[in-house]
A = this chain, B = another copy of it.
Amino acid sequence: MNNIIDIDDASGVLVCQAGCVLEVLDQEVGKQGLMMPLDLGAKGSCHIGGNVSTNAGGLRLVRYGNLQGSVLGLEVVKANGEVLDLLSTLRKDNTGYHLKHLFIGSEGTLGIITKVAIQCPTRPKAYNVAFLGLESFDKLLATMKKCKHQLGEILSSCEMIDAKSLDVVTSNTKLKNPIGDHPFYMLIETSGSNSTHDEEKLNSFLDNVMSDGTVLDGTVTSDPSKIKAIWDIRESITGALLYDGYVFKYDISLPTQYFYSLVPAMIERVGKDAVRVCGYGHLGDGNIHLNITVKNYSKEIMNKIEPFIYEYTSKLRGSVSAEHGIGFKKPKYVKYSKSPPAIALMKDIKKLMDANGILNPYKVLP
């Protein structure tokens, strides 16, 4: 189940079995000057079939879009054992219903993905990373807008880290903050086909946002080891939070202007019960990872957090599970992001496709 079936260097389409590891695929398509359209921390162990089943997002969705756009075809085994050949390698195919989307993000509850055809973008030749310090979320938002407009086609990541998220890394690991202390940090990555052009664009953007005071401080690099050091900070937050004790973790999407509002709301809610309430994540996609750490788990704190966090997100029409999915822990929370008619339709489709409920039971559906 981990064979590459074809890499078409003209169209950029990869066809492979579901058990291929994401990082291995990225290395293989890299030999043809292509890249996988998704990248996530777990790339060294996660399987492409699982990525598609869970509609994985990751660090570069702001540039390469979601899997619903990248996946061209699937082979799927249905609940009745029938093999459904939807393994198109075409970018355009309007012959009837786009059935593959039933299986992207439905976490294996409607069918088991066995093969994947996916569009791979051209692999960039140059990477640059800027790490910036800012005084408020408003300035962060202003910087994001400017970087979307000024960096345009070369912007490949736009992440935010608040002071408490950075602090947990610098306090508990050997990693160091490469700039001064600030309430907010932003990691901007560009990637493109010409390093000189990309550096010019990035430097011109940084001149602009630093000269008008939107950004207080920053560092920029095209040195791979320094780029890695900056990304390591971002990717070490999840692990470092465990040093605080027990971690309540949430993966929330909110309309961009409310992106950070949940953090002060949660601080007010849990007060001194928490060791830390912090937020970081994919600003460019409106996806924040909110974490509340406590010395020891207690039901009392849990009851302060939930359902408050879901109700808060629901009121703003956010998503209570942005990229992590539902699994068996969150079916009862789906109602906060899906209307009753939508949930009813989900159940109808499940019944149609898997009447006996044998596919990944107890998952996703409330």
Which A residues form the contact surface with B (CB < 8 A)?
A: 8-12, 33, 54-55, 57, 61-62, 65-66, 68-70, 78, 82-86, 88-99, 101-102, 104-106, 110, 122, 124-125, 141, 144-145, 148-154, 191-194, 197, 200-201, 253-257, 282, 285-287, 317-326, 330, 333-334, 336-339, 341-343, 345-346, 348-349, 352, 364-365
Closest partner residue, chain B, to A10 (CB atom): B256
Question: Hey, which chain B residues are within 8 Å of A65, CB to CB?
Answer: 65, 69-70
Question: Hey, which chain B residues are within 8 Å of A287, CB to CB?
Answer: 91-92
**Min CB distance, A86 to chain B, in Å?**
6
Question: Hey, which chain B residues are within 8 Å of A91, CB to CB?
Answer: 61-62, 66, 253, 285-287
Given A55-B98, A95-B326, 14 extra CB contacts under 8 A: A54-B94, A68-B68, A68-B101, A69-B70, A85-B342, A90-B255, A90-B286, A94-B326, A95-B337, A96-B337, A98-B105, A99-B346, A124-B153, A151-B193
Top-4 shortest CB links A-B? A69-B69, A101-B101, A152-B193, A93-B319
**Min CB distance, A363 to chain B, in Å?**
10
In the complex, are the beta carbons of B96 and A326 less than 8 A apart?
Answer: yes
In the complex, are the beta carbons of B285 and A10 less than 8 A apart?
Answer: no
Closest partner residue, chain B, to A84 (CB atom): B341
Docked pose: A331 CA to B55 CA in angstroms: 31
Docked pose: A84 CA to B82 CA in angstroms: 31
Known: A90-B319, A153-B153. A8 touches B255 (CB 8 A): yes
Known: A148-B122, A257-B10. A339 touches B90 (CB 8 A): no
Closest partner residue, chain B, to A335 (CB atom): B95
In the complex, are the beta carbons of A197 and B201 less than 8 A apart?
Answer: yes
Question: Hey, which chain B residues are within 8 Å of A345, CB to CB?
Answer: 84, 97, 99
**Of the candidates B12, B68, B330, which one forms a contact with A69 in the assembled complex, judged by CB atoms under 8 Å apart?**
B68
Question: Hey, which chain B residues are within 8 Å of A86, CB to CB?
Answer: 342
Docked pose: A91 CA to B318 CA in angstroms: 10
A selection of 21 A-B contacts at a CB cut-off of 8 Å is A10-B144, A10-B256, A68-B101, A85-B341, A90-B254, A90-B317, A93-B253, A93-B319, A94-B326, A96-B326, A96-B337, A96-B364, A97-B105, A98-B101, A98-B106, A122-B153, A149-B193, A152-B193, A153-B153, A154-B193, A352-B352
